[in-house]
Chain A
Amino acid sequence: MTEIRTRDLVISQTDSRPMYLQIVEQIEQRVAVGDWPAGAEIPSIRQLAADLRVSVITVKRAYYELERSGVIATQQGKGSTVAPATRASADLHHGELARQIEHVARLGALSNLSADELAARVRTALAELQRKNREKP
């Protein structure tokens, strides 16, 4: 089971966006990149508030927004979990994938890699990932 660490989140007071939005965006990103997998338990509102040293009402608002957009699911009395793969998380993954691919393309161009060479690198990385997954107990 992947451990959800609240130190994955960092709130900035100089960021002009409201604090609840910073929490929403960072959790969305953790979910999008797969750091926080579907089904993983996320900290309770009061625990996250204590860990981030932000008010309970701010975290409550962030969780409310995340729940509305289907990123997390809250069960009365049981706390919140990352929602199972849904439209919302699929959208998040696609969005993040598009960003990362653009990034890969840019790095490839900077290193003067041809399209074929770049594609080969991606295939190698994919094969490596599959090998690792097979080895997992």
Chain B
Amino acid sequence: MNDLAVRFSGVHKQYRHFHLADIDLELPTGSIMGFIGANGAGKSTTLRILMGLVHQDRGAVEVLGQSMPSQQAQAKADIGFVAEDMRLYKWATLAWHMDFIASIYPGWDAAYAAELVRRFDIRPEQKMRGMSHGQRVKAGLLLALARRPRLLVLDEPTTGLDPVARHEVLGALMEVLTDESRTVLFSSQNTLDVEQISDQITFIDRGRIIDSADKESYLERWRRVRLDVPPDVILPALDDVVARSTTGRLTVLTSNRFTAAMAEACAAAGATVNSIETMTLEEIFLANVQQRREKEAA
């Protein structure tokens, strides 16, 4: 059994105004990855390459052991893909869609589908046309989940959802993961969702992956250090400091590879360490993107 559900290596895709470059990505089976990036960063393009909907110019993509796009027919039987612009038939009811999907995919689990209908609080007899955004998102998710695919790929599943719907959707995703052989990849602009439920996180900005790591050790590496630096003290040169801002005597350092030695070096130089703080994924993402963009501009 392959222990990677998804693997990208050296993937490129050139558009006229956008370039996806050097995409390397590994998603272990049984885990859930949150894919974070601003609008236009390349999240959807990456997911579409994964699905074989867009073909890469070069580089290798392997999904559930199948090479994409050449073996996409085999791979797709085991992938559930949900995106905002998914074409569901407006004039048809959810029940019609459920019957339709059930007739194509032998793995369709009618009992699970019925349970999701109840939990998502949606009505099968309703036509897609009459559904709200949240109901449509949940309907699309239901159609993918009830097939019980080995890999679930979701493009912004929580965008535009109210808190109740968001809670229902996150709960359904986490339930998929109680089965160790299933894997979830979802993109999001909401770092709070990603921080809450992801095992793996990947940041993408301007067509490049800027970080991809397991969440716990990644969060553990980042710290903000607040220092009181007297006028005659000069801080030592420190590696792994991605941002530094000074106002008056107070300096704030942001590090992506914090160690106790870093704070000790500042203290030895004569500064007082006021606090060492953990950071949220959102703060880390912003610090990371800013630093990269400044480097590019320099």
Contacts and interface: CB of A to CB of B under 8 A. Distances in A.
Interface stretch (B15-23, B38-46, B169-177): B169-177
A16 B277 CA distance: 9
B32 A56 contact: yes
B178 A55 contact: no
B214 A57 contact: yes
B31 interface: yes
B187 interface: no
A50 B216 contact: no
A18 B219 contact: yes
Interface in A1-52: 13, 16-20, 44, 46-47, 49-50
Interface residues of B, number: 26
Given A18-B278, A49-B177, A50-B175, A55 B198 contact: yes
Interface string B176-193: 011110000000000010
B24 interface: no
B174 A58 contact: no
A55 B177 CA distance: 9
A20 B32 contact: no
Given A49-B177, A50-B175, A57-B215, A13 B197 contact: no
Contacts of B118: none
23 contacts: A13-B192, A13-B196, A16-B278, A18-B220, A44-B178, A46-B179, A47-B178, A49-B174, A50-B174, A50-B178, A53-B170, A53-B171, A55-B196, A55-B197, A55-B199, A56-B31, A56-B32, A56-B199, A57-B199, A57-B200, A57-B214, A57-B216, A58-B215
Interface of A: 13, 16-20, 44, 46-47, 49-50, 53-58, 61
